[in-house]
């Protein structure tokens, strides 16, 4: 039987529209649930008792244990940035500006973003996997039956740790990145040391640093709440934990990269 | 003391409870039996308030916990202890920290005092010298015992057991049954257990209730249940594949 071409046309047009609509609805639903969890976490954050011990533990997990990876990334990023800038700028005799380029790129952009992506991959994945496993093995239910609010006990400490440790790690990444750039420019390529620092300080403004840190705070909070959300609402055993972990890293990383543009446009006018 | 009145609950349009009602007297040991997926776990989660009914009431000493605020609910839960099917021990904590969790959080005890009580509760459930182990170092039966020690550590008035003997060998299962009876005698608690293990149900229950198609279809003492004329109850307690209960996912 011949299919009516009009029906076929409607089907062809309608299918992608329906798919887009379903994706939009799912995205809105997920965003809404993340916002509700954030609201619940912020409410629990200001109410006593305060989870000091748990928060310190998370500061170590998220911050201190991420430090080696963040610092190695930062130093090599500073080094490659200096190397590429130096060889590029040499073509029009602007090698003296390498220090400025490294400092501005690291503090405004690469420091917070790379730190965010590393923490999302390392600590975000760990948060989602741990909470996901706790969910599927009924440990979160057990907390509830022991009269303990799981949002307060599990999510608030991770949220605070993310909020504090991302900017702290970013400060370290900024310093180490700039030192890496200095090492390549001055130590390996033979540029003048005084000139390197002078150009760095002349053009680097305080706002470059603190606006970068504002971004880092946002990224820290985002990674924590997204990863906790993915873990907290895990369903379906080991496969569910795997999906939650992947989902946490992908969603956190995407959010960091997309929000980075809008934050930069807003902060660095 | 515990009264469930006309509970309705659905998930994604699929009704699990369709008017379940049950009354458990103070100090009584009630066992709810029913097939897999019959809603036993959903029922027990309503008693402790981790799920809220769409319709109906959950009365604990006459107070409806289904309408309580979050804070009131957490306060009420201090009166409960619950043993989970897979024990649900916190795997990042030592055994004694698991047992002492509620004591340290709500009892404001020092770590030393809480540890002493934890060791005492572990002895009550027949475990000694395991307090400094991690849950991953314990066998299934030991985990259940630790779970039971954690459930009784803060001396609750109501104990809930979610499939207490599932996954254990018959000897260990019987030992857990004995412990449940011992806890009832020593602590005079009201208890609700859900299980499909009839041997366990007959042993620990003062009364048994059968949950089927979202409702409690029969309640009685173990002897009354054994003599029941209800075809559904008869099929379930005799463990027959033939009868009014259809096996989920299997066509005739």
SS (H, E, C) A42-71: HHHHHCCCCCHHHHHHHHHHHHHHHHHHHH
Is the Cβ pair B78, A141 closer than 8 Å? no
Q: What is the pLDDT of residues B58-69, one digit of tens each?
A: 999 999 999 999
Q: Is residue A158 part of a domain?
A: yes
Q: How far is B81 from chain A (nearest CA, A)?
A: 7
- Domain of A76 in residue numbering reads as 51-267
CA angle A236/B51/A136 to nearest 5° reads 20
Q: Is residue A17 part of a domain?
A: no
pLDDT tier at A103, thresholds 50, 70, 90 = very high
What is residue B249's predicted lDDT score, i.e. its pLDDT? 61
Size of interface A-B (CB pairs under 8 A): 50
| Contact of A186 with A192, CB cutoff 8 Å | yes
Q: Is residue A95 part of a domain?
A: yes
| Contact of A169 with A67, CB cutoff 8 Å | yes
Is the Cβ pair A139, B85 closer than 8 Å? no
Task: With a cut of 70, say whether residue A36 has pLDDT above it.
Answer: yes
For chain A, what is the domain count?
Answer: 1
Q: Is residue A91 part of a domain?
A: yes
Q: How far is B230 from chain A (nearest CA, A)?
A: 35
Q: Is residue A228 part of a domain?
A: yes
8-state DSSP, B197 = -
Is the Cβ pair A139, B88 closer than 8 Å? yes
Decide yes or no: CATH 3.40.462.20 for domain B2-238. Answer: no
Task: With a cut of 60, say whether residue A152 has pLDDT above it.
Answer: yes
Measured over the CA atoms of residue A97, residue A99, residue A101 and residue A107, the dihedral's sign is negative
pLDDT tier at A93, thresholds 50, 70, 90 = confident
- Residue in A closest to B49 by C-alpha: A145
Q: How far is A139 from chain B (nearest CA, A)?
A: 5
A12 burial level (CB within 10 Å; 0-12, 13-18, 19+): exposed
Task: With a cut of 80, say whether residue B41 has pLDDT above it.
Answer: yes
Is the Cβ pair A142, B88 closer than 8 Å? yes
- Residue in A closest to B102 by C-alpha: A146
* Predicted ipTM of the assembly: 0.90
């Amino acid at each position: 039987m011949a299919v009516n071409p009009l029906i076929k046309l409607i089907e062809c047009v309608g299918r992608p529209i329906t798919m887009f609509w379903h994706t939009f609805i799912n995205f809105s639903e997920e965003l809404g649930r993340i916002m509700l969890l954030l609201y619940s976490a912020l409410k629990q954050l200001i109410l006593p008792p305060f989870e000091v011990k748990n928060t310190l533990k998370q500061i170590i997990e998220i911050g201190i244990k991420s430090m080696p990876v963040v610092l190695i990334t930062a130093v090599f990023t500073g080094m490659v940035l200096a190397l590429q800038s130096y060889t590029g700028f040499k073509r029009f005799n602007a090698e003296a500006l390498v220090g400025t380029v490294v400092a501005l790129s690291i503090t405004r952009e690469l420091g917070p973003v790379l730190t965010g992506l590393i923490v999302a991959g390392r600590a975000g994945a760990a948060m989602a996997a741990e909470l996901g496993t706790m969910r599927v093995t009924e440990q979160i239910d057990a907390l509830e039956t022991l009269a303990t609010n799981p949002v307060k006990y599990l999510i608030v400490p991770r949220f605070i740790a993310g909020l504090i440790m991302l900017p702290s790690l970013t400060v370290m990444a900024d310093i180490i990145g700039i030192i890496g750039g200095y090492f390549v420019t001055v130590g390996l390529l033979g540029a003048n040391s005084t000139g390197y620092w002078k150009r760095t300080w002349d053009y680097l403004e305080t706002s470059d640093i603190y606006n970068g840190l504002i971004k880092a705070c946002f990224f820290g909070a985002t990674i924590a709440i997204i990863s906790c959300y993915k873990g907290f609402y895990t369903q379906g055993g080991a496969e569910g934990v795997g999906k939650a972990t992947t989902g946490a890293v992908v969603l956190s990383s995407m959010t960091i990269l997309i929000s980075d543009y809008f934050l930069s446009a807003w902060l660095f006018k | 003391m515990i009264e469930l009145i006309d509970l309705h609950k659905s998930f994604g349009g699929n009704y699990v409870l369709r008017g379940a009602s049950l009354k458990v007297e103070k100090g009584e040991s009630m066992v709810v039996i029913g097939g897999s997926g019959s809603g036993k776990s959903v029922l027990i989660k309503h008693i402790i308030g981790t799920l809220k009914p769409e319709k109906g009431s959950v009365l604990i000493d006459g107070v409806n916990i289904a309408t309580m605020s979050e804070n009131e609910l957490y306060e009420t839960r201090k009166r409960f202890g619950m043993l989970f099917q897979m024990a649900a021990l916190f795997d990042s904590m030592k055994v004694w920290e698991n047992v002492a969790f509620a004591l340290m959080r709500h009892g404001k005890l020092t770590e030393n005092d809480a540890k002493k009580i934890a060791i005492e509760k572990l002895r009550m459930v027949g475990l000694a010298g395991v307090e400094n182990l991690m849950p991953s170092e314990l066998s299934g039966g030991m985990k259940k015992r630790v779970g039971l020690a954690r459930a009784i550590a803060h001396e609750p008035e109501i104990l809930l057991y979610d499939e207490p003997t599932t996954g254990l060998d018959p000897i260990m299962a019987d030992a857990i049954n004995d412990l449940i009876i011992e806890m009832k005698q020593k602590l005079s608690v009201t208890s609700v257990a859900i299980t499909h293990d009839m041997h366990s149900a007959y042993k620990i229950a003062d009364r048994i209730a059968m949950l089927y198609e979202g409702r409690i279809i029969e309640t009685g003492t173990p002897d009354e249940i054994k003599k029941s004329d209800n075809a559904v109850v008869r099929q379930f307690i005799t463990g027959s594949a033939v009868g009014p209960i259809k096996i989920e996912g299997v066509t005739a």
